[in-house]
Structure 1
Amino acid sequence: MARHPLIGQPAPPLSLPGADGETYTFTPGEKGVPVALFFYPKSGSFGCTKEACQFRDALAEKDLFKRTKVDIVGISSDAVDKQKEFVEKQKLTYPVLSDANGEARKAYHVGKGLFGLAETARVTFFVDSKGVVRDVLDTTVNYSAHVKFVTKWLDKLEAEDKKAAETPAAPAEGAAPATSAENAAAPEAPTA
């Protein structure tokens, strides 16, 4: 499969109606937290319900999801009233958006799934805290792979942040770097 054209690029901003009827605006990097945008075929279908509930449960139960403050956003072509019913029935705790006119699918290059049989493919975009698309998972049939994909990326970002924090700062401009002799402890004087 070809590399997705958005990987390494700024994520496109979105404004779509949410299940609550209010417009939800996604401005990549604005909150400074990672975001998982997942597109799914149909609210209420078996795989879509399982996937949506796995994200709900991960937000509630996984320390990694809590620590990183990751935002989860679900998007399908279903109308707002269908989304509202789905969110209420499944007790979803994150925004679920209606892309009835297909503008988000177009912006994110999301095609049809199941060889064209599903209106929308099941695709998850992992966007880092700076608003850059780091990776994309496109697997319509394997609904359970999407939470694992996001978990892998959250682990990777935590490792990157930890490594960056441990890297010593460069010496100030004009300052001489410390020599190993300066860093060594002075020998103790012999005692009588």
Structure 2
Amino acid sequence: MPAVSSQLAERFDKVRELVDVAEMYAADGAPLSAMQNLVDAIATIRRIIEPASGQNQQPMPLERLVEVMEGALRRRTPEEIAAVPWIAEAIGLHCPAIRAQGEVAALAERQHRAALAEWISRDWTCLCVVSCDEDPATACSLSGQQHVHPAIPGHPGAYGPCPVHPDAPGDR
């Protein structure tokens, strides 16, 4: 039982760490990085409260799995064999490190698809970084008109003077 509670404590620590880093990213003006850390925290929480479906499965006996692999190697490359989902799952049941890599890969694939969908559905009619009236820290006297304020290198979330209205009062 102590090993289980130790693992659980490690997972809770990981959730706290991910949320703390997300908070730092958000404070630094990096919302996408903050969101990514929150997504990772959610995945960690789900692993705590929802046991993985593979945990209750009886693995194929190792000898049988090795025989299947040896037979498959006569006709296929290791890469082709590894691409078969049930093979990856069967190997993962014998090797927790490979199973964990598979879970990370599945999460990364879902996040990649979500990022692709977001990019595809983005409104490309306006490529502005910020509107002057969205943030008082970057507001110029012509607030409300969409235009780009350049980011200041090395200062995430900080923007330089308005290039469209360089003489605008209040834009210093």
TM-score normalized with structure 1 length = 0.27
More relative contact order, 1 or 2 (CA 8 Å, 6+ apart): 1
Larger radius of gyration: 2
- Structure having the larger proportion of residues in strand: 1
TM-score normalized with structure 2 length = 0.29
